[in-house]
Structure 1
Amino acid sequence: MPIQRVHPGPRMSEMVIHNDTVYLAGQIADDGSTDVESQTRDVLRQIDELLAQAGTDKSRLLTATVYLADMAGFAAMNRAWDGWVDPANTPARATVEARLAAPEYLVEIQVIAAR
């Protein structure tokens, strides 16, 4: 089976598709000057766009890993997440506190979805 790499760069591809599985790289907000909830909404919008490019959507999510710069933002992240996730098709999810690539980023989300 072929492997399709979408938006490849020198270190990583933004998305990789193999068979009927779509792997997204961790997504961060376009604007790092906003709060956790706003950054989460922006990240989820980006995930929607990438999944659509791959011919799938959030109802087909298999797993999600949420990285928070500070677990104090957990409730704010969940407000955005709960308004976005398909309640009939929730993925397996882990949320961890981690130092992100730059201090302005408060949340990063990586997902795997089926097509």
Structure 2
Amino acid sequence: MPQYVFTEEAMPPLPVFSQATVSKGFVFASGNIGITKEWKLVEGGVKEQTRAALRNLEIVLKASGSSLQHIVKVNVYIRDFAEFSGMNEAYAEFFEKDKMPARTCVGVASLPFNAAVEIECTAELI
């Protein structure tokens, strides 16, 4: 049976999904955008929103029994591909250069709270 993850340290999920689900040795983390615990979009554009989303994923993964270093697949949803390089700069701060997880980046028309980026991942349990 899957385990459903909740930690007060991370952004609370909306009532229709969990922060992450643990099943068969993997953590499936829900999408994260760069918002504060007060549900306000962080200032600073795509770079700061990418950092905030990844910091929140880091907290959720830790509560799930994993870490950023154990991510095997990332999906990034970006509203404007003109901001792709800024997102990549911030994203690269969180991973070792030669140990980047597999990743897909998809352009989307809109995201919750009009966010610039949303990030979800799958990670192995430690």
Partner-residue secondary structure (3-state), 1:53: helix
Q: TM-score scaled by structure 1?
A: 0.90
Matched, 1:112 2:117: no
Q: What is the CA–CA distance in structure 1 between the aligned matches of 2:15 and 2:57, rounded to whole Å?
A: 21
Matched, 1:100 2:96: no
Partner-residue secondary structure (3-state), 1:41: helix
Distance 1:9 1:28, change over 3 A: closer
8 Å CA contact retained: 2:75, 2:103:
yes
After the TM superposition, which parts of structure 1 deviate over 4 Å for at least 4 consecutive aligned residues? none
From the two aligned structures, give the one with the greater strand fraction.
1
**Could you say which residue in structure 2 is the equivalent of 1:14?**
19
Q: TM-score scaled by structure 2?
A: 0.82
Q: What is the CA–CA distance in structure 2 between the aligned matches of 1:51 and 1:88, rounded to whole Å?
A: 21
Query: Alignment RMSD, CA only?
Result: 1.5
CA deviation profile, 1:60-112 (whole Å, cap 9, x unmatched): 11100100111111011011011111334211101111121232x11100100
8 Å CA contact retained: 1:60, 1:89:
no
**Could you say which residue in structure 1 is the equivalent of 2:88?**
78
Which amino acid letter does the alignment assign opposite residue 54 of structure 1? S
- Percentage of pairs with the same residue: 29
Which region of structure 1 is more displaced relative to structure 2, 70-79 or 31-40? Answer: 31-40
**Could you say which residue in structure 1 is the equivalent of 2:68?**
58
Which amino acid letter does the alignment assign opposite residue 19 of structure 2? E
8 Å CA contact retained: 1:58, 1:86:
no
Q: What is the CA–CA distance in structure 2 between the aligned matches of 1:53 and 1:94, rounded to whole Å?
A: 24
Q: What 5-or-longer segments of structure 1 have no aligned partner?
A: none
Which amino acid letter does the alignment assign opposite residue 25 of structure 1? S
